[in-house]
Structure 1
Amino acid sequence: MAYATATGSERHWDATSPLDPAEQRRVLIHAFLDEESLPEEWFPRGNSISRAPTSDEILEVLEPWRPLKLRRIATEISRNQGKGDLIILRTYYGGDSDERMAEILEEDELSDAFFSPDIQWWRVLNDPELFDFGDDWERVLEILPELVGQSGFKVFRGVPAEGLAEARDSDDPVGDIQYLASIGHGPLLVADKEAFEENELRALFLDGHGNIIRDSTLKPENIFDMKMAPERGQGPETTCWQKGKVGPKYKRQGDIGRVLYPSEEA
């Protein structure tokens, strides 16, 4: 779908732009993530799309952005987002992190009653050539924007109005609105340097645009319980959610919080 942002019928890609191609791609992907809704023509119908890319667009725009491995990962994430499988993003590859990563994945496998090795190739983002971001985990959204705002192939960016009205009238409007903004998805689990040192993955609850709602941690042996929490109706009650620090934009006076939350005087 992000392809359409670059090469759709409006031809957002500007071959004459003074911007470096990589920078122009970055700007377009961030514009894609900022969209509240997506035009219907951007969605594939069967095996067809509204406008096929030209050979030049494939060579100049698409292939430099995402190699085949990333395109396959993006397809599987799109198909499976919202089904409960938590994505693990490894962003640090120094020291003894290879051994520590193997231990984390072993803990994940042993604790998951429904563990499937067949999905690990797209569920665990573990490749230094693609994901060596260090502390700058947000860079993953520039190559895999499908990580946020989706449930299957449907895109959900904002908080649904009907749910928002109900959440505002609840006993815990701020917490309920934050959980609603997460679309009920589990967190993105980040294996950064600190995660390897503390044996706790960073757990980021993100909204449909990639903004942090809550920033928490999760031990590898608890991944399965976190995965099953929404199905059990326990999502907002999990320790991972409860102990999470509210992201800057979701604080009461943050850019998003001050718009979504009811006034304190109400």
Structure 2
Amino acid sequence: MSDVDDQTGPLWGRLGVEQYLIVRYLIYIWALAVTLTWHRQTGTVFLLKCQISNGKDLCLDFLTPPLEPKQDCERKPTITPLREPTAEEIDTILRPYRCEKLRWHADNISMNAVCPMLLRTHYTKNADDKKRHDKIMEEWINVDLFEEEAWWAVLDDVNLFDFGSEWRRIYDVLPEIAYPISFRGVEEGDQNILQDNYTEPQDHVEMRAFFKRDIANAKQYDPEAWYNDRESVIESIGTLQVAATYTFMVIADEEAFESRRLYIIYLDGLRRIIREGRIEPDYYNIGTVAGLWGNCCALLGPEYTSLNEMYRINGEIGKELYQLTEEDLADP
């Protein structure tokens, strides 16, 4: 893993979530803040923001874009900001939101989503276990196809990421992890907004044609498997699941350290899990999983991951995504 000496973020206002703070919430925050006495304003403006529009709520709003297809969107974390924050805005709103190390991570997330991020969420207080766990982390990191990317892709800091089983807390402090490619500033009337290129399930028209071709091929290739359990055959075809995948993440949780099986999750554009499972070290490591995605655009299959109920063929999202017909479901 490369050593990074200076983990300082970009100029203030260059990150999408910072623009969101100062453009969309600044007026609202200060309108509420003026109702406080002067001595309370200086110490509690950020707390007020955290309770009303920020922390979890702010990031959820930031990560919930208008649900219409976007074209030609590109995430450029160091573009000239839409609006330069003032020194007061930086000190009162942006700086308290997160530390420079988190801003550095936000600025260095890969734009191409080929490599997953490795998030460590378990930190033991036992000295011997800590030494053992740190060694295991080194083994996970120092593998082909991942080691060269680890300088930006590893999130390992007990002071920042000690989430335990609540891994989704990463979105509170690093919402950029949800969209490794997508943010850009656009103008809507007289208001600057941030959009992404989220595509709704029913809009994957081109990939759906390939998916249905793959179903027909699967019927002919193994009709016995089709007769025995056609749902499993259909759901094992990853064509549309890949199309719906925005990003994937590998998590070093408590179970991972005990079993040496990292937790892997593939997520859609609204942070919903598509597939999840454990990486079996006898067959895969984080590098080969990255290679599987980067070279083949493939997910770990049903041998290692399970499909989320929402993405089953009769699930809430699956129905819209697959759009199966009687012909698709007919026996060969």
Q: Distance in 2 between matches of 1:217 and 1:90?
A: 15
Are 1:168 and 1:262, in contact at CA under 8 Å, matched by a contact in 2?
A: no
Runs of 4+ more than 6 Å apart:
37-46
Are 1:93 and 1:132, in contact at CA under 8 Å, matched by a contact in 2?
A: yes
- Asked if residue 161 in structure 1 is aligned to residue 204 in structure 2, the reply is yes
- Asked if residue 190 in structure 1 is aligned to residue 251 in structure 2, the reply is yes
Counterpart in 2 of 1:126? 156
Match for residue 48 of structure 2 among 3, 17, 20: 20
Match for 2:94: what amino acid? L
32-41 vs 157-166, which moves further? 32-41
Counterpart in 2 of 1:246? 307
Counterpart in 1 of 2:138? 105
The Cα of 1:264 is off from its aligned counterpart by 6.0
- What SS does the corresponding residue of 1:157 show, helix, strand or coil? coil
The alpha-carbon distance between structure 1 residues 120 and 43, as it changes in their structure 2 partners (threshold 3 A), is closer
The alpha-carbon distance between structure 1 residues 246 and 47, as it changes in their structure 2 partners (threshold 3 A), is closer
Match for residue 279 of structure 2 among 218, 222, 227: 218
Q: Percent identity?
A: 26
The Cα of 1:223 is off from its aligned counterpart by 1.4
Are 1:134 and 1:193, in contact at CA under 8 Å, matched by a contact in 2?
A: yes
The Cα of 1:193 is off from its aligned counterpart by 0.8
Matches within 5 A, 1:138-157: 138-151=168-181, 155-157=196-198
Q: Distance in 2 between matches of 1:41 and 1:259?
A: 24
Q: Deviations over 1:37-65 (max 9, x none)?
A: 78999976965211112333222322122
Q: Distance in 2 between matches of 1:45 and 1:92?
A: 29
Q: Distance in 1 between matches of 2:31 and 2:272?
A: 32
Counterpart in 2 of 1:209? 270
- What SS does the corresponding residue of 1:2 show, helix, strand or coil? helix
Are 1:170 and 1:176, in contact at CA under 8 Å, matched by a contact in 2?
A: no
- What SS does the corresponding residue of 1:151 show, helix, strand or coil? coil
Are 1:149 and 1:207, in contact at CA under 8 Å, matched by a contact in 2?
A: no
The alpha-carbon distance between structure 1 residues 44 and 168, as it changes in their structure 2 partners (threshold 3 A), is closer
- What SS does the corresponding residue of 2:294 show, helix, strand or coil? coil
Match for residue 137 of structure 1 among 159, 167, 173: 167
The Cα of 1:6 is off from its aligned counterpart by 1.9
Counterpart in 2 of 1:8? 23
- What SS does the corresponding residue of 1:20 show, helix, strand or coil? helix
**RMSD of aligned residue pairs (Cα, Å):** 3.3
- Using the size of structure 2 for normalisation, the TM-score is 0.66
Match for 1:71: what amino acid? R
The answer for unaligned runs of 5 or more in structure 1 is none
The alpha-carbon distance between structure 1 residues 132 and 171, as it changes in their structure 2 partners (threshold 3 A), is same
Match for residue 116 of structure 2 among 74, 82, 86: 86
164-173 vs 24-33, which moves further? 164-173
The Cα of 1:122 is off from its aligned counterpart by 2.7
Match for 2:60: what amino acid? H
The alpha-carbon distance between structure 1 residues 42 and 162, as it changes in their structure 2 partners (threshold 3 A), is closer
The answer for unaligned runs of 5 or more in structure 2 is 1-15, 34-46, 185-195, 216-233, 328-332
Q: Distance in 2 between matches of 1:264 and 1:202?
A: 34
- What SS does the corresponding residue of 1:29 show, helix, strand or coil? helix
Are 1:91 and 1:191, in contact at CA under 8 Å, matched by a contact in 2?
A: yes
- Using the size of structure 1 for normalisation, the TM-score is 0.80
The Cα of 1:97 is off from its aligned counterpart by 4.0
Counterpart in 2 of 1:62? 94
Counterpart in 2 of 1:257? 318
Counterpart in 1 of 2:63? 33
Are 2:252 and 2:262, in contact at CA under 8 Å, matched by a contact in 1?
A: yes
Counterpart in 2 of 1:115? 147
Match for 1:225: what amino acid? T
